[in-house]
Each structure stands twice: as structure tokens, then as C-alpha cells.
Structure 1
């Protein structure tokens, strides 16, 4: 079975996306965004109610185990293998989906006549957009890097660095690293907006390379053999020139930089548009 958090976030994300068109027209919908999240989350969790139901528990469990449960935010499908076995991946994807849905809903409910360069709400929207683009790019780049490691049977070696042996542990560590590294790259791009525009794929790739190349030298060439020697009593030469990891890191930087820039280009039109003539007060 998928974790309850996954069902909650999937339900909340779906309801937010469905309510986004209404948020453009109705202030009541925009004000009720937290209620929409709560109702959507409970909607996604509803089939699991048999576990705490004081009555009709057997009937509710039978409903939970039927395809009718998919009426509640794809609950049945998420509980079936192989999805139910990908716990870490499902949590990561559901959080990403929730960030995207929140960004779409907030953007849909933003008044286009407001000067977005000064509106505090716009700054929050920009942060949501950055987080969504970061999650999207990190997921794509991390998944491609993970696929390459899986095809070469190296995911287990990543898990072994932390005393684990399974490929799933290696994939979880890789996704966490991708998110952390992507956050640093995004911070570089957003913090140097005048020099390296976040919407420029070339700037995204350059920022990624500026991070992963020194990271390879420090982390792989020198730190990794020391870690292996003192933690696992395994000998590695210093410097440890592991060229395959360099290729993987460069590939990650290329994919992340391009995906992040393209995603930011798509979202910037929503959050950074120039104020229109209707925002100028008439005297």
C-alpha cells in the first residue's frame, strides 16, 4: 500500500488543479485554498477509513480493495504493485505534484493588474515557481542519471557508501543528492539574475558545471577514498580518478540546467509579467 501522505498529496493536487480555473474568477475560491487542500487530501485518503471506522469496516475494506477506490484520487492504483513498492519514489513524486499544483492554483488566482514586482504575494508565487521548477528538473536529471547507474549495476554501490545494499536505497540517496545539488544550482541562477538568467539554458548548464566539476574533484577524487578508508576500511588510491562518475555528473549538469531554464521560462510569464495599463491609477 502507498503511504497515507501520498494519497493525501495526490488528492490535494488533483483538487487544486481542478479548482484553478475557478480561482481566476471567484475570490471565494482563492480564499478557500487551504480548505481545498484539506478536502482534497481527505478525499484521497477516504478509502483508508476502514482502518478506523467504528462500523461497516468490512464493507469499507471491500470497497478499498476494489477498483471503485480509484474514484478517490486513484487510490486503488496507487496501492497496487509495482507502484506500492516504490515508497520513496511515490513520496517524492507526490510532493513534486503538490508543488506544481500549488503553483498553478496560485498563478491562476493572481490578479494580472497588480504590479508583481512589488506585491508580496507575487514573491511567494515566485518561490513556489522556483521550487516547482527545481523539483521538476531534479527529478528528470536524477532519473536519467539513476537509469544510467541502474543499467551499469552501480546503484548498489551508491547505497554501499551508506552501509546499505539495495538499489532502492541507492535510488533514494541519488534523488536526495539531485534535489540538494539542484537547489544549489537554482540558488546560483536566481541569486545572480543579472549575470546568469535563470531562463537561459546555457546559463543553467554553466551554473551546473561550476558546481559539479569542483564537486567531483573534492568529493570523488579526494573525499571518497578517505571515506572508504576510514569508514569501511577499504583501500582506494588518492587521487581517485573515477572518470565514469565525472561523465555522470556532467550529464546531470547538462540535463538539469536545460530543464530548469525551460521550466523557469514557462513559469516566469505567470509570475513576472509587467504591470498592465489597468494597474496605473487614473487621475
Structure 2
């Protein structure tokens, strides 16, 4: 998860690799949050934990973005896509595909079930186009940001 591909071998970079993935997640989170804010939806993210609010919404978006970046890199290292995930150009496409997959699994399918105990009853599938745009932007940012951060984050 935190390393680089060198002559067919995975090289662990330790804390630098972890920091690089977190930086990529934060970069994606900025785009994700900006899109949600532009649509007027950032405050409503707090509803997921029962407390709407701008600061809580932004905090949840940034935390989820970092976790998502680790999931993106983990999926890349566990699959035959590792060399593609470590390239910024193909990372753009793979990241957008990751954003789409997160939207389908997370927003369209899981979110309606999560919100039912909180008194909200969106349909399943929940076709929320604004979150689709936000997650596509997120993926398109973490895809290239992940390998670039791994190249340039050094202590």
C-alpha cells in the first residue's frame, strides 16, 4: 500500500508512503468538498451521523477522502492494475472509475439503508447526481495525485 514498484518488486516506503497516500486523499477531498459546497450540500453530509453542519460535513468529507485514498491504493496493489495505478495519466481514468464505483456502492445502494434508522427514506437505488459529480471529481483527483504524491513526498 505504501511503496513503489521497482523492477517487478514492491518496495515499502513506510511513513513516507502513508503520508503520500494521505496527501493524495486530502487533495481529492478538497475537490470533493468544493463540489459538494458548490451544490449547497456540504452541510448535509453531517446528516450521516445525525448532526448537519458545515464544519462537521467538511471534517467527514476530508476523513472519508483519506480513507478512500488508502482503499484506492490498496485495490491497486492487490490487482493487476498496480502499474496503471502508479501512473498519473492512467490513474486519472482509474480514479474516476473508482469514484463511480464508490458512488454505486456507497451512495446508490448503501446510503439509503444507512439513513433509514435516522428517519430518512430515500429510494434504493438512490440516484443522487450531485454526489456522482463530486465522487467523479474526487476519483479524478486521487488517481493522478496518488502516484505524484508518492514521488514527491519526502521527509
Which of the five TM-score ranges fits, normalised by the shorter chain?
0.7 to 0.9
Counterparts of residues 1-283 of structure 1 (less than 5 Å) = 123=12, 126-192=13-79, 195-229=82-116, 231-266=117-152
The unaligned stretches of length 5 or more in structure 2 are 1-5
**Structure 1 residue 226: Cα displacement:** 2.2
**1:97-147: CA deviation from partner (whole Å, max 9, x where unpaired):** xxxxxxxxxxxxxxxxxxx99xxxx73xx1223212112111111012212
Q: Which has the larger radius of gyration?
A: 1
Query: Does the CA-based 8 Å contact 1:199-1:261 persist in structure 2?
Result: yes
**Higher strand proportion (structure 1 or 2):** 2
The secondary structure found in structure 1 opposite 2:126 is: coil
Aligned residues: 146
Distance in structure 2 (CA, Å) of the matches to 1:252 and 1:188: 16
The secondary structure found in structure 1 opposite 2:122 is: coil
**Structure 1 residue 219: Cα displacement:** 1.7
Distance in structure 1 (CA, Å) of the matches to 2:132 and 2:76: 22
Larger RCO: Structure 1 or Structure 2 (Cα < 8 Å, ≥ 6 residues apart)?
A: 2
Query: Does the CA-based 8 Å contact 2:36-2:131 persist in structure 1?
Result: no
Distance in structure 2 (CA, Å) of the matches to 1:151 and 1:246: 14
Query: Does the CA-based 8 Å contact 2:99-2:137 persist in structure 1?
Result: no
Match of 1:33 in 2: none
**1:61-101: CA deviation from partner (whole Å, max 9, x where unpaired):** xxxxxxxxxxxxxxxxxxxxxxxxxxxxxxxxxxxxxxxxx
Distance in structure 2 (CA, Å) of the matches to 1:139 and 1:159: 18
The unaligned stretches of length 5 or more in structure 1 are 1-115, 271-283
**1:175-217: CA deviation from partner (whole Å, max 9, x where unpaired):** 1110111001112334457752443013323442443322211
